[in-house]
Every structure is written in structure tokens, then in C-alpha cells.
A and B are shown apart, each in its own frame.
Chain A
Amino acid sequence: MSAPVGVLALQGNIPEHLDALRACGAEAVPVRRPSELAEVAGLVLPGGESTTLSKLLEAVELLEPLRERLRAGMPAFGSCAGMILLAREAIDARPDQHQLGALDITVRRNAFGRQVASFESDLAVTGVAGGPVRAVFIRAPWVESTGRGVEVLARVPGSVAGPASGKVVAVRQGPVMATAFHPEQTGDARLHDLFLRRVRDSVAAG
């Protein structure tokens, strides 16, 4: 791959995403400035606090350049807070929260509850071979509804009781994918690999 892949590095779980991308053989760089965004072939939006990330994106003048790159088809991968930012709409977010709108989904913020309800679970993910992914959900969102053209990659197992059962927690739409959980937390880079394949396709297509 000629151009590096970026990780939005304003706040959150940045080093783990950089490590996972590098473990897959990609050149990975932190992105905090518009000039750095312009250099990358794809962008990971990490876990962090979505409210904080939304404010910082605006404050450092990355919001519009990022929207523009996404509109132009840049591949992107968001985990947790990253999923919330990429969504078209977020429920239970502050009214002034910015949405990038790259995924035609509605997410519910902190859908599973506060930290004491955070959990981990084995999850089968479409497109990921080699058995289930250990999914770590931390004050996580879920996907409340998906538009046409959105592919569901994973749901909460039916064995989980309550309103969370069967909820959509991983999606893909064109070059953009997102997970409500944190694949960067477990040292298992299969989802990053799935994302990088999409980045390579996009680079090859020019």
C-alpha cells in the first residue's frame, strides 16, 4: 500500500489501533491535523468519548475536511465512539453532537447501560474467518435501525437476555465499517485486516 492508513488521534484508544494496523502490515499514522488527514488512504476512528471527540473535531477544524473525504469515498472504520460519529443519527447523545453521516444507521449511545453493564462476549462476525471474535463492549452503543445498503456483520448473541439480545453491533456500507465493540482491545487484528482489504481495493481502484 503506498499511502499510510490513519488513526484519528484526538483522544481515546489510539495506540492499540495503530498496533493492530501495523500487525497487519500496514503503515499506520496518527491524524490530528487537516494536513495529516489529506495524506492517508483510510481512517480509523477509535474508541473514546464521542462527546469529546465531536467537540475536538470541530475545535481543530477537522470536521469539514473529514466529511469531505468520507463523501469522496475514503474507507473508514469506527469502533464504539467511532461508530457513533460515523452514524447518520445518534439517540441519547447531546443535541450539539456532530454526525459524520457516512453510515446510514441510527445508533443508541450507551445503549447497554453505564459502566457496570459493560461486558465481553464471543461474537460471530460476517467476513471474519477462524471462529468467533472476543468482543469487548464498554459503555457501548448498539444500532437501532439500518438503512438500505447497510450490511449487518454481527449481532449480540441470542443467548444474551434482555433488550440487548439480537441487537446489531457491526455494520458495513460500501467502504465504511463500524463496530459497537472494541476489536483493538484484544490483540485480535482480524477486523482490522478486513478493513485494510477494503483500503487496498480502494487504492487499487484509484
Chain B
Amino acid sequence: MTRPEPATAVGTGGVKRGLADMLKGGVIMDVVTPEQAKIAEDAGAVAVMALERVPADIRADGGVARMSDPDMITGIVDAVSIPVMAKARIGHFVEAQVLQSLGVDYVDESEVLTPADEAHHIDKWAFTVPFVCGATNLGEALRRLGEGAAMIRSKGEAGTGNVVEATRHMRAIRSEIRALSRMDPQELYAAAKELRAPVGLVQEVAESGRLPVVLFTAGGIATPADAAMMMQLGAEGVFVGSGIFKSGDPARRAEAIVRATTFHDDPDVIAKVSAGLGEAMVGRTTTDMPEHERLATRGW
């Protein structure tokens, strides 16, 4: 995947993956207005995700969910000094071109929006702006990397306030990585076929025991303890969508989730910041969720 670089170059794998490295150990928060973006920044978010409706509302409203209005995105870009991410529909490369032109720092090719292409994800190598993509398992993560993603987030089930799917996906990715590490090198070709992933990436993961990019968690994180559990399960950072601004006291909850992410291995700190946070978002169970309501099955 490496190409010879000229003396000075923009949009290299190094600078794309590098920004995700700088976000490690941090919390990225969904915001729908400049005011919410400021609350997120004040609470210590490392970046904000600018979108028109949080996933819980997208779920409730139904219909087709698309890229946000450029005015709304630039309003948020102007309001904060931290990086701004924005979502494009799966396969909608023109929405991604628009987001790059607006100067967003990361594009999320997201299953939370309605997919625009049922066969092809965006060719992310063609862009200067880096991409983050969702994955439910290792094969899916590696397919996205093959297309040029520079950061992966486990999908979870956005807009539910229920961490169970995030847990399932993070455990799946991590245990599949461990399985690769234990294999004989000769077995990796068949493993690549099984995972439906590029063999070069499979070999790289087997060798290093980790993804070659940063792995965050997403989709259902609603409490400081949720965030800390995902970090202990091996996430390198946390996306929180509806969990903050659908709760009773967003500013305090945001700050508490940031602190619990930093001190994810210290139950005393998590206990302290979890106290008196007010109402968490109303969650919903996913076991009885009909197939067509599941966002994590979008993308492949």
C-alpha cells in the first residue's frame, strides 16, 4: 500500500492515519449545532462529528438520511478549534468530495446515513481528506482499509443507547486479530479468503497483532462506564452519538465520559464521575430489533 513519497507531500497515509493517532484516548461527540459543538469542546472532546440529526432522531424520523447542509457544517467548523468530522453516505463519493471541499478534517463513511450504493464503498485513496469507516468484524475492517480508510470504528448499533452491539463488534475484531496472530504464515492465505480481506493486510495484522490504523468504538455508548468498558476491551478512543445530547445534563455527562475514557482502568475515578449525572438517554434493546431497523448491517 505504500507508494514512494516526494520530498514534500499532502494526503499521505502517514498524515491521514496520523490525525487519528492524535485523537487516541479521546472522545469524539456528535453535535448538531455550533452551541453543542462548544459544549463538547468545553467538556474536553478531541473532535466533534457535525451532523443534522443525532442517530436516535434519524431512527425516530425514518426516511432517507443524507449529508448535512454545508452551512450547518461550516457553522460548526467556525465555532470550535478542535477537528471537525462529518458523515457521507456509504458509496456517496460526491458527498465526500463536498465535505473535503468544505475543509472538514475527517469524513465518516457512515451506516447511520442511508447508503447510496449497495455494492461499492467510496474509493478513499482518491481523497486528500482521511476517512473513518465502521466495521462489525475484522474482515469488514480490512476491506475498508483496502479501500483507503485511515481509521476504523466498531459500528455498534447507533442511536440505541445500548452498548451490547458495540461490545459484540469490539470483541469480534479483537478476537479475530488474536486468532490471526496464532496462525502459521502458510495459513494466512486461507484466512484472507475466509475474512474476504486483502492478504497483504491480513499478513500485516498477523505479524503486528493489531490493526494498522487506530480503532475506536461507537454505537450505543451512553455512560462513563460504557466508555471505560470499551477502552478496557481494546478501543483506542470513543465516539459518542446520541448519548450526550439526548441525556438530562449534556455538559456534565460529556465531561464525565471524557474523564472515564482517560482513566478507563481506574474504577475510583469512574465511580466519582458517574455520580449524580441525571437522566441517561432512553435506551432500547436490540435483541427484538427487526432486521430493517439495524444500521450495523449496512455496508459489507
B81, A121: Cβ atoms closer than 8 Å: no
Residues in chain B near residue A110, CB distance under 8 A: 81
Query: Looking at B8, B22, B45, which has the most chain A CB atoms within 10 Å of its CB?
Result: B22
The count of residues in chain A whose C-beta lies closer than 8 Å to any C-beta of chain B is: 44
Complex CA gap A109/B106 in Å reads 18
B44, A14: Cβ atoms closer than 8 Å: no
Residues 128-155 of A contacting B (Cβ, < 8 Å): 136-139
Q: Mark the stretch among A21-29, A45-53, A166-174, A192-200 that contacts chain B.
A: A45-53
Q: Enumerate 15 A-B pairs (CB-CB under 8 Å) in ascending A order.
A: A12-B26, A14-B24, A48-B26, A49-B23, A56-B258, A110-B81, A115-B19, A118-B15, A119-B9, A120-B9, A122-B7, A122-B8, A157-B7, A159-B8, A185-B14
Complex CA gap A160/B15 in Å reads 17
User: Given A49-B26, A52-B82, A55-B44, does the pair A16, B106 have CB atoms closer than 8 Å?
Assistant: no
10 closest residue pairs by CB, A with B: A115-B105, A118-B15, A121-B8, A11-B25, A49-B46, A55-B44, A119-B10, A138-B18, A13-B21, A114-B103
Residues in chain B near residue A182, CB distance under 8 A: 18
Complex CA gap A137/B255 in Å reads 29
Q: Tell me if A59 counts as interface (CB < 8 A to partner B).
A: yes
- For the A-B complex with A115-B15, A121-B7, A186-B14 known, give 13 more contacts whose Cβ atoms are closer than 8 Å: A9-B25, A13-B21, A15-B24, A48-B23, A48-B25, A49-B22, A49-B46, A80-B22, A118-B15, A122-B7, A122-B8, A159-B7, A185-B14
User: Given A14-B24, A185-B21, does the pair A120, B46 have CB atoms closer than 8 Å?
Assistant: no
Which residues on B are within 8 Å of A, measured CB to CB? 5, 7-12, 14-15, 18-19, 21-26, 41-47, 81-83, 100, 103-106, 128-130, 255, 258-259, 262-263
A10, B18: Cβ atoms closer than 8 Å: no
Q: Tell me if A32 counts as interface (CB < 8 A to partner B).
A: yes
User: Given A92-B81, A185-B21, does the pair A160, B8 have CB atoms closer than 8 Å?
Assistant: yes
Complex CA gap A48/B18 in Å reads 10
Complex CA gap A102/B291 in Å reads 57
Complex CA gap A51/B41 in Å reads 8
User: Given A94-B81, A159-B7, does the pair A10, B25 have CB atoms closer than 8 Å?
Assistant: yes
Query: Looking at A11, A136, A185, which has the most chain B CB atoms within 10 Å of its CB?
Result: A11
Q: Which B residue's beta carbon lies closest to that of A81?
A: B22
A137, B15: Cβ atoms closer than 8 Å: yes
Residues in chain A near residue B41, CB distance under 8 A: 51, 94
User: Given A14-B25, A48-B46, A49-B47, does the pair A116, B129 have CB atoms closer than 8 Å?
Assistant: yes
Interface flags for A163-188 (1: CB within 8 Å of B; 0: not) read 00000000000000000001001100
User: Given A11-B46, A11-B262, does the pair A138, B8 have CB atoms closer than 8 Å?
Assistant: no
Q: Tell me if A117 counts as interface (CB < 8 A to partner B).
A: yes
Q: Tell me if A93 counts as interface (CB < 8 A to partner B).
A: yes
Instruction: Out of B10, B21, B47, name the residue touching A117 (CB < 8 Å).
Output: B10
Q: How far is the CB of B184 from chain A (nearest CB, A)?
A: 27
Residues in chain A near residue B26, CB distance under 8 A: 11-12, 48-49, 52
Query: Looking at B21, B128, B259, which has the most chain A CB atoms within 10 Å of its CB?
Result: B21
Interface flags for A44-71 (1: CB within 8 Å of B; 0: not) read 0001110110011001100000000000
Residues in chain A near residue B19, CB distance under 8 A: 115, 118, 138-139
B23, A139: Cβ atoms closer than 8 Å: no
Complex CA gap A52/B100 in Å reads 24
Complex CA gap A14/B46 in Å reads 15
Residues in chain A near residue B104, CB distance under 8 A: 114-115
B15, A136: Cβ atoms closer than 8 Å: yes
B25, A59: Cβ atoms closer than 8 Å: no
Residues in chain A near residue B5, CB distance under 8 A: 120
Residues in chain B near residue A92, CB distance under 8 A: 81
Q: Which B residue's beta carbon lies closest to that of A112?
A: B10
